[in-house]
Amino acid sequence: MSGPPTKFDPQTVWFVTGCSSGLGKAFAKKVYCAGHRVVATARNVAALSYLPDEPTVLKLSLDVTCGENILSSLTHAVNQFGRIDVVINNAGYGLMGDTEAIEEADARHQLETNFWGPARITQETLKIFREVNPRGQGGTVVQVSSMGGWMTAPGHAFYHASKFALEGFTESIAKEMNPDWNIKFLIIAPGGVRTNFAGSGLKLVPRHPAYESPTSQFSQLIEYITNPASQETWSDPDVCAQLLFDAVTGQKGRPLPTRLLMGAETIPLIKADIQQTLREIDAWSEEAVRCSPKGGAHLDL
């Protein structure tokens, strides 16, 4: 998802969602401390008091499940700064529970927040990158997914659905871009991060009696996630924010990747998942090929 070099300087405008705490807060602080302009959003603007009231800072109330609110926030940002260069779709939360026990309304809200919100923001942002920003400047969309956008754990069915959808959406839309527009995409995939994700950022529904067993994988996962000792081993949000900033601005001297992992545990877990998939492909490859009488046509995507 790389393209021509993009200029980053104090005039760069970053639009960040979900800045009240956690990674969003770390991202907003990093952008501000780097001397760039930041549009920090949260449902409650009072939660953004850690940022000073300065001309380079715009604080907005944003509920990513509201299309009108999304459009008005982006419009306000453009009116204030004349452009948007980087969008970080960070707002989201985790819905955890036995899938049979999760109400449809809760499941739909998970998808509205974690998928449809970023999708709508991305759609509106493309117009700004292409039609408002200086010609050829383009912009970068950063989707905050997780290693749960690639692999799964029990008790997170709708959370995984939202992140898998976001990653598929992003990879597809990236292939639609005219290279002349210089629009780039980055998916970040953190593992555990020391934020309030396991606290106020997590909704745990009451257990379904048929699944509630201390020996089940989900029960063991709940114990791990909610254990303060476990959380001490998770990634530092400020270090994650620095990595994101360096990757987007080209400080690492490498092209922007499709997906950027964050956290030591993400590497072996995702590699193991990929290797398992490869083994299954190989085990059933002859049968797969026989489905195409003439061997199939090669399509380069």
Q: Which residues are catalytic?
A: 145, 159, 163
H or E element, residue 107: helix 104-111
- Nearest CA among 283, 2, 5, 35 for reference residue 14: 35
* Cα–Cα distance, 139 to 256 (Å, whole number): 12
Q: Give the residue among 125, 150, 95, 136 at the shortest CA–CA distance from 15.
A: 125
Tokens of 30: 């990093």
Cα distance between residue 212 and residue 199, in whole Å: 21
Q: How far is CA 130 from the centre of its chain?
A: 22
Q: Going by DSSP bridges, is the β-strand pair 13-16/202-204 parallel, antiparallel, or unpaired? A: unpaired
Which H helix or E strand runs over 188?
strand 183-190
**DSSP 3-state of 217:** helix
Q: How many Å separate Cα 18 from the centre of its chain?
A: 11
